[in-house]
Amino acid sequence: MKRMRDHLPSRRIIAVLAAALLATGTAACGNSDTGDGGGKDDGKITLGFSQVGAESGWRTANTTSIKESAAAAGVDLKFDDAQQKQENQIKAIRNFIQQKVDVIAFSPVVESGWDTVLKEAKDAKIPVILTDRSVDSADKSLYKTFLGSDFVKEGRLAGEWLVEQKKGATGPVNIVELQGTTGSAPANDRKKGFAEAIAANPNLKIIASQSGDFTRAGGKQVMEQFLKANPKIDVLFAHNDDMGLGALEAITAAGKVPGKDITIITVDAVKDGMQALADGRFNFIAECSPLLGPQLMDLAKKVHNGEEVPARIETQETTFTQEQAKAALPERKY
Ligand code: AHR
C-alpha cells in the first residue's frame, strides 16, 4: 500500500511534464512566432486557394498547375472555384479563416473591394498571397506578395506589334477590342497598355470596345454585334485567346476570313490559341503564363515559415508570331 502511494506523486509529475512538452511542441509546429493562424500541426502546410472560375483555357491550365504543384510539394490544398463571382471568393476566404488554414492564396476576380476580408485574414494572422491578378488596396500590408504577369506590358506588346505592322498605312485602321471581365486587373491593364502603345498613331482607331468576359461565348456574341454595327473592321484586339477563338466563328459566319480580312491579336498563348496562330487565323499573341503553381507552393512555404519574400514577383513571358507559333506548338504544355 505504501509503495502504491509512493508512486502517485511521481506519476503526477510525469503527467505534468508530458503536458508541458506537448504544449511546447505544438507551439513550435504551429509557428505561433511566424504570424501563423494556427492551422493543423501535422508538419504539412494547409493552403486555402480561391480560384476565379473556369472561364478560359488559361484558367484550366492554371488550376491544373496549382493542383499538381500542391501534390508534388506535399501541400494540403483546399481549392475553391468562385465561378467568376467576387462574393463567392469573399465567402471562400472567410471559410479558410474559420478553418485556420496556414496560408491563403487567391486570384481576385476584380481589383476592388477586398480590404475588409483581407483585414480579417490579417487579424487572424493568416498570410495572404495574391496570384495571377492583383487588388487595388492602398494598404500593401494586407498581403505578403503578388505573383503574376505584367498585364500592362502584355497590352503594350500587342499594340507595338500592330503599330509596326501598320507602319506606312495612310487610311484609317479600325480596331475593335474584346475586353476581359469588367473591373478585372487584366482587362483594365491590357486596355491601358494597348491604348498607350497605339496613341501616337492617329490613324489607328479603337472604334468599339466591350467586355466578352474572357469566355468563348462572350467573344462570339460581342464580335457578332461589332460586325453588325461596323461595316469596316480591320483589326481585333482580344484580351485573351478564348474570346478571340469565339470571335473567329462570328467572323467566318459574316463571310470574312480571319487573319486576312481582319488582323487578330490576342493574349495568353494557350494551345488552341497557338494552333489558330500557326494556322494563320490569328496574327499575333502576347503570352501570359498560367504555370504559377510551383512558385506559389514555394512562396506559401516561405511565408508560413516567416521568411521574407519579394513584394512583387513578375512572371517571365514572350510573344509569338505565326512562324514562332508553328515552331513552339509541338513542345507547348498547355
Ligand atoms: O488573369 C489572367 C486572365 O484570366 C487570362 O488572360 C484569361 O484567359 C483568364 O481568364
Q: What is the pLDDT of residues 72-124, one digit of tens each?
A: 999 999 999 999 999 999 999 999 999 999 999 999 999 999 999 999 999 99
Could you tell me if 219 and 247 are in contact, meaning their C-beta atoms sit under 8 angstroms apart?
yes
- Asked if 95 contacts 120 with a C-beta cutoff of 8 angstroms, the reply is no
The domain locations on the chain are: 46-149+290-316, 151-288
106 CB near ligand 1 (under 6 Å): no
Do 62 and 290 touch, CB atoms closer than 8 A?
yes
267 in contact with ligand 1, CB cutoff 6 A: yes
132 lines ligand 1 (CB under 6 A): yes
Look up the CATH number of domain 46-149+290-316.
Answer: 3.40.50.2300
Whether the domain at 46-149+290-316 and the domain at 151-288 fall into the same CATH topology:
yes
Question: Please, what is the average pLDDT of the chain?
Answer: 90
Question: Position of cell 504544355?
Answer: 333
What pLDDT is attached to residue 170? 85
CATH code of the domain made up of 151-288? 3.40.50.2300
| Pairing status of strand 46-51 against strand 312-314 | unpaired
Digit-coded pLDDT (tens) for 17-43? 444 433 333 333 333 333 344 444 567
Sequence-distant (6+) residues with CB within 8 A of 120 are 93, 94, 97
* pTM, two decimal places: 0.88
| pLDDT band at 200; cut points 50, 70, 90 | very high
Average pLDDT over residues 140-144: 97
Please give the Cα distance from 194 to 153 (Å, whole number): 9
Pocket test for ligand 1, best of 240, 291, 317, 334 (most atoms within 8 A of CB): 240
Averaged pLDDT, 252-267: 98
CA distance 210 to 99: 40
Give residue 118 CA to ligand 1 midpoint distance, Å: 22
Rounded mean pLDDT, 215-229: 98
In this predicted structure, the answer to whether residue 255 has a pLDDT above a threshold of 50 is yes
The predicted pLDDT at position 42 comes to: 63
pLDDT tier for residue 333 given thresholds of 50, 70 and 90: confident
Share of the chain above pLDDT 90, in %: 86
Taking the CA of residue 57 as reference, the ligand 1 atom at the shortest distance is 8
